[in-house]
Amino acid sequence: MNHKKIPLNQLPLGVKASVTSLEASGAVRRRILDLGIVNGTEIVALYKSPSGNPTAYWIRGAVIALRSDVSDKILVTA
């Protein structure tokens, strides 16, 4: 599989990826870190809402919904 960095919001459903970096700052970065999304965290894209925003992700044993403006700041490698 291609090991290129992509934003989390571009991860296809059902694919597992690993966080490589965060491009967020300020309160958004703090929220991402509070959710346990740090380098090396494994994430699986589970579901998209009918409108496509937010998307539900499996993160550290919990399902968490993130809007695309937040998940765009999380870079992952599939």
Sketch out the chain's domains with CATH numbers.
Answer: 5-77 (2.30.30.90)
Kindly state the average pLDDT of the residues 42-68.
93
Global pTM value: 0.88
Q: Which of 76, 57, 59 is nearest to 67 (CA)?
A: 57
Kindly state the average pLDDT of the residues 33-46.
94
Side-chain-side CA neighbours of 64 within 13 Å: the count stands at: 19
Mean residue pLDDT across the chain: 92
Strands of the sheet with 55-59, listed across from one edge: 5-7, 74-77, 16-22, 42-48, 55-59, 62-66
Kindly state the average pLDDT of the residues 49-73.
93
Q: Which of 40, 1, 50, 77 is nearest to 59 (CA)?
A: 40
